[in-house]
C-alpha cells in the first residue's frame, strides 16, 4: 500500500481523502497546480454563479485538478471538459493565466505531491459544450462567409456557432436594454445632407488617432474573453488588424497574455510592412485598455507590462465600472444553472446577481477612483491616455483640464447604467456647451454603430474615430480571423461608399453641415430645462 499523501502548511497535515471531502456549499476546496485552496468564501462572489463551482453530476462540487493556467476555468465561470488535458483549452476561452493572482494568499492551504493529485477526483462537467443553438434540422450550420454583406449579418452566424452561455455573455445588456437600444437608434436619428457635383472618384478615409496614422476613422473596441467566441481569440484579431492596417484596443480581460498578443501582432506586421509601404497606406496600431483594480499596485504592474511590450500606442482607462451593471440575461442563466445543478442551490439561485454576485468582486473593480488618480495613471504610462466611459460634457471638460489626450464617450455598450445617454448625444452636448473642446483633446465614440457610413456622422459632429465592438466579436466567433478581415472590409467599403454619396473626398470635409442631428438635439440635456 502506498504511503499516505499529505500537504503541510503551518504544521497542518492534509491527506488526499480530507481534501476530496471538501466539496459542498459549506466547505469548498480545489487543487490548483499541486496546491489546495479554500474557495468557500468565493461561492457567493462568483460572477458565473455558484453552480459553476458546485456542479458535479448535477449535485456536488468536484475537486478540480487543474494546472495553474486553468484554475479560473473553475473559479470564473467556465465548465470544464471531462479530460484534465482539456481544462487548459477551456480556461483559455475566457481568462488570462494572470488572473490566478487574485486569489488571496490565506486561501492557499498548502502543496500536495503528484501522487495525491492522482488520487483526487476530477470534474467531468462540461455544461458550456452543450446548449449550442441549433438550426431547424438539428445541426449547427453557419452560412458561407460570402453571404455576409452587412455587419449585422455576423450576429446571426455567431448565435448559431456559440454556446448559449457565451452568447448570453457577449449579447447581453443591463436591465431591459434601454441604453443598448438607445445606442442603435441614435445612429438612425442622424441623417446625412448629401451635396452634388463633387468629384469623388478618389476618396481618402485615412485619419490620425492620437498622433498615429490610421487607415480608417474607426477601430475595434476592447472586448474581453474573445476565446469564448473562437480558439484564435485575440491572436486572430490582431493578425487581421495588421493585415488591414486598422487600429484596435486590447482589453485587460483578454484570454491571451498581453505579451503574446504583442508578439503575434509584431510578427504579422513584419509580413505586411513591405506591401503597406509600397501602397503608401498606414500600418495597424494597438492600444491597451485598463480596468483599475482595487489594488493600485496590480494596476501599475499591468501598465508597466503593457508599456514594456513597446507595441501599445496609448492607454485607455475604463472609468464607468465602479461595479458591474445589472446584466439581466446573465443573472437568469445563473439562476437556471443553479436550479438545474441541485435543489441544494436554490438559495444561490435566488441570490443570483445580487450584491457581490453582480460583479467580479473587489479585487478586479474599484469603486473608489477619483480625478486625483488620473495623475499617477498619466505618470506611469508616459504616453497618450484616454478616459473610456465619459458620459457628460462636464466630465469631458474636466478631463481636458487634467491633460488627458482623449475621451471615449461610451455607455459600455449598454451594459452598465441602463438609462445612460448614447455617445452621439453626449458628443452634441460637448459641441453645444464646450464648442472648443474637440480641438483640445481627441473625442471618440462607441456603442451601436453597425454601418460604415454611419462613422461619417460621428466624424462630422467632431469625433476623431468610432469604436466598434460586438460585430467584430460575432465575426471572430463565426469565422475566425477571416471573419474579422471581412468585417473590416465591409465597414471600409460602406465608409468609402458613404463618402462618395455624401460628396466628400476626405475626412476634413466631414463637417457638421453634412448631417442633420436635430432629432438628437431635441433630446439632448439642457441645463436651463433641468432646474425645476
Q: How far apart are CA 275 and CA 283, in angstroms?
A: 10
Name the nearest CA neighbour of 231 among 197, 207, 250, 255. 255
Q: Which three cell numbers stand for residue 28?
A: 469548498
Does residue 348 carry a catalytic annotation?
no
Q: How far apart are CA 248 and CA 221, in angstroms?
A: 6
Q: How far apart are CA 341 and CA 121, in angstroms?
A: 18
> β-strands 212-214, 207-209: how paired?
antiparallel
Selecting among 22, 230, 412, 418, the annotated active-site residue is 412
Residue matched to cell numbers 442631428: 517
Q: What is the DSSP letter of 453?
A: T
Q: Which three cell numbers stand for residue 520?
A: 438628437
Alpha-carbon distances, residue 50 vs 56, 84, 165, 337, 363 (angstroms): 12, 21, 15, 9, 18
Q: Residue 14's beta-bridge partner residues?
A: 7
Q: Kind and range of the H or E element at 388? A: strand 385-390
What 3-state class would DSSP assign to 96? coil
> How many other CB atoms are found less than 10 A from the CB of residue 231?
13
Q: How far apart are CA 33 and CA 113, in angstroms?
A: 10
What 3-state class would DSSP assign to 252? coil
Active site residues: 412
Amino acid at each position: 500500500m502506498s504511503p499516505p499523501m499529505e500537504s503541510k502548511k503551518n504544521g497542518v497535515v492534509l491527506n488526499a481523502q480530507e481534501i476530496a471531502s471538501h466539496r459542498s456549499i459549506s466547505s469548498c476546496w480545489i487543487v490548483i497546480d499541486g496546491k489546495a485552496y479554500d474557495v468557500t468564501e468565493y461561492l457567493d462572489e462568483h460572477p458565473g454563479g455558484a453552480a459553476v463551482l458546485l456542479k458535479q453530476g448535477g449535485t456536488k462540487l468536484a475537486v478540480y485538478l487543474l494546472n495553474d493556467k486553468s484554475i479560473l476555468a473553475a473559479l470564473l465561470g467556465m465548465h470544464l471538459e471531462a479530460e484534465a488535458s482539456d481544462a487548459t483549452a477551456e480556461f483559455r476561452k475566457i481568462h488570462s493565466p494572470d488572473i490566478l493572482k487574485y486569489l488571496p494568499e490565506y486561501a492557499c492551504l498548502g502543496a500536495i505531491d503528484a501522487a495525491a493529485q492522482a488520487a483526487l477526483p476530477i470534474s467531468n462537467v462540461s455544461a458550456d459544450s452543450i446548449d449550442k443553438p441549433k438550426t431547424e434540422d438539428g445541426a449547427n450550420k453557419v452560412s458561407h462567409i460570402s453571404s455576409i454583406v452587412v455587419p449585422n449579418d455576423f450576429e446571426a452566424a455567431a448565435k448559431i456557432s456559440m454556446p448559449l452561455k457565451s452568447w448570453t455573455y457577449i449579447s447581453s445588456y443591463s436591465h431591459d436594454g434601454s441604453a443598448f437600444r438607445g445606442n442603435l437608434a441614435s445612429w438612425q436619428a442622424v441623417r446625412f445632407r448629401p451635396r452634388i457635383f463633387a468629384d469623388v472618384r478618389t476618396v481618402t478615409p485615412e485619419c490620425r488617432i492620437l498622433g498615429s496614422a490610421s487607415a480608417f476613422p474607426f477601430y475595434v473596441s476592447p472586448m474581453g474573453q474573445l476565446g469564448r467566441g473562437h480558439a484564435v481569440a485575440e491572436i486572430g484579431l490582431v493578425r487581421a488588424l495588421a493585415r488591414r492596417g486598422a487600429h484596435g484596443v486590447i482589453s485587460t480581460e483578454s484570454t491571451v497574455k498581453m505579451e503574446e498578443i504583442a508578439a503575434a501582432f509584431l510578427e504579422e506586421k513584419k509580413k505586411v510592412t513591405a506591401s503597406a509601404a509600397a501602397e503608401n497606406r498606414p500600418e495597424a496600431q494597438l492600444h491597451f485598455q485598463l480596468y483599475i483594480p482595487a489594488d493600485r499596485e496590480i494596476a501599475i504592474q499591468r501598465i508597466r507590462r503593457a508599456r514594456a511590450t513597446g507595441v501599445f500606442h496609448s492607454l485607455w482607462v475604463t472609468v464607468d465600472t465602479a461595479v458591474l451593471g445589472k446584466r439581466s440575461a446573465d443573472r437568469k442563466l445563473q439562476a437556471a444553472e443553479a436550479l438545474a445543478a441541485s435543489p441544494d442551490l436554490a438559495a444561490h439561485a435566488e441570490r443570483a446577481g445580487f450584491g457581490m454576485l453582480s460583479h467580479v468582486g473587489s479585487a478586479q473593480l474599484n469603486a473608489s477612483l477619483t480625478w486625483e488618480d488620473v495623475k499617477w495613471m498619466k505618470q506611469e504610462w508616459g504616453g497618450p491616455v484616454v478616459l473610456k466611459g465619459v458620459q457628460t460634457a462636464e466630465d469631458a471638460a474636466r478631463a481636458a483640464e487634467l491633460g488627458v489626450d482623449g475621451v471615449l464617450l461610451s455607455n459600455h455598450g449598454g451594459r452598465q447604467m441602463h438609462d445612460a445617454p448614447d455617445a452621439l448625444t453626449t458628443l452634441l452636448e460637448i459641441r453645444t456647451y464646450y464648442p472648443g473642446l474637440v480641438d483640445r483633446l481627441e473625442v471618440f465614440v462607441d456603442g451601436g454603430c453597425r454601418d460604415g457610413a454611419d462613422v461619417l456622422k460621428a466624424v462630422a459632429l467632431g469625433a476623431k474615430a468610432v469604436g466598434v465592438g460586438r460585430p467584430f466579436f460575432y465575426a471572430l466567433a463565426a469565422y475566425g480571423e477571416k471573419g474579422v478581415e471581412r468585417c473590416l472590409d465591409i465597414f471600409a467599403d460602406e465608409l468609402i461608399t458613404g463618402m462618395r454619396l455624401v460628396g466628400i473626398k476626405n475626412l476634413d470635409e466631414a463637417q457638421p453641415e453634412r448631417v442633420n442631428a436635430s432629432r438628437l438635439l431635441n433630446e439632448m440635456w439642457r441645463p436651463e430645462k433641468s432646474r425645476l
